[in-house]
Structure 1
Amino acid sequence: MKVYHASNTIIKRPDTLHSRVALDFGQGFYVTVLREQAIKYGERFKLRKQQAFLNVYELSDGWQAKNIKKFTAYDAEWLDFITANRRQRSVVSYDCVEGGIANDRIFRTIDLFLSQDISRDEALKRLRFEEPNHQICFLKQALIDAFLSFIDAEEI
């Protein structure tokens, strides 16, 4: 299956080390099956007067047989996992995490919750109406090395 990663550089050999900490699913390499979502994310680099590239990879079969956590909704478990990662608190260790991304609109709810401006219940009520999008975060380099192959990159 094809997956996409937007960046200000071409990444032929993805790794988990160059990611920022305190991201949704932790420090890792993020991809999505949604091409348009990756392109939209890549536009952020262009707004900062940087080059933007859509890196395309082949994700081979078998990766989901590993220690994977999959979130299918913006629910209490997802909220707890996201907020723990953003606060850099300890979470259950996985090789890879798949689920919805905290995009701009969703991040506003997360931000209000993290700053204690809204309660957990209020955050969950707001998230209930959001349609999950998609991201896969590879947290272990061995998983990237075994299942992710660079195909091409195109300038956005």
Structure 2
Amino acid sequence: MRVYHASDCVVSSPDTEHSRDNLDFGRGFYVTTIKEQAVSYAQRFLRRGRKAYVGEYGLDEDALASLVVLEFSAYDEQWLDFVMACRGGADDTSWDVVMGGIANDRVFTTVDLYFAGEITKDEALGRLTYVKPNDQLCFRTQRAIDRALRFCGAEELS
């Protein structure tokens, strides 16, 4: 399977060290199976006057079987609790890979309101019920990256 990563540079040797803290699924190397999603995300670099690249990687799905994987299939209470813990710096889990929906603009607004205490968990979940998740995979350990991802190339956007 092919997966994609948006960046302002070519990332031929992905690692977890260059990730920011407190992201949706914690610190890690993020990819998506949806190329258009990566291209859209990479556009933010161009808007800031920087270079933009979409890296392409081969994902060895068989290798995932040897890793500790958490997968969310919906924006549900478990997803919301996990994202809140990760964004709040309170995640102490040891998943190799976490897969599930990304907090896009609509979802991010709801999550942000909940995180700020401006809406209840029930209200947040009600707003998320009918949103179809897009996808992201977060490789949280170098072991997972080394076993499951292979760099195939990168395309510079203009």
User: After TM superposition, is the score higher than 0.5?
Assistant: yes
- Structure 2 unaligned regions, length at least 5: none
Residue 60 in structure 1 maps to residue 60 in structure 2: yes
TM-superposed deviation, 1:129:
1.3
Give SS of 1:40's match.
helix
Match runs of 1:1-150 below 5 Å: 1-65=1-65, 66-150=67-151
Letter in 2 for 1:141: Q
Structure 1 residue 92: Cα displacement? 2.5
- RMSD value over aligned CA atoms? 0.8
Give the drift of 1:63.
Answer: 3.0
Superposition misfits of 4+ residues, deviation over 4 angstroms: none
Distance 2:101 2:64 in 1: 17
Q: Give CA deviations for 1:58-116 in whole Å, capped at 9, x if unaligned.
A: 11132321200000000000000001000000343201000000011100000000111
Q: Is the 8 A contact 1:99 1:133 kept in 2?
A: yes
Counterparts of 1:154 and 1:57 in 2: how far apart (Å)?
12
How many residues get paired? 156
Alpha-carbon distance in 1 for matches of 2:34, 2:4: 7
- Uncovered stretches (5+) of structure 1, i.e. residues with no partner: none
Give the TM-score taking structure 2 as reference length. 0.96
Percent identity between the two aligned chains? 49
- How far 1:128 sits from its partner (Å)? 0.5
8 Å CA contact 1:32–1:135 kept in 2: the answer is yes
SS at match of 2:98: strand
Give me the TM-score of the superposition, normalised by structure 1: 0.97
Stretch moving more, 56-65 or 26-35: 56-65
Question: How far is the alpha carbon of 1:154 from its aligned partner?
Answer: 0.5
Q: Residue 62 of structure 1: SS of its match in structure 2?
A: helix
**Could you tell me how far apart the structure 2 residues matched to 1:5 and 1:99 are?**
15
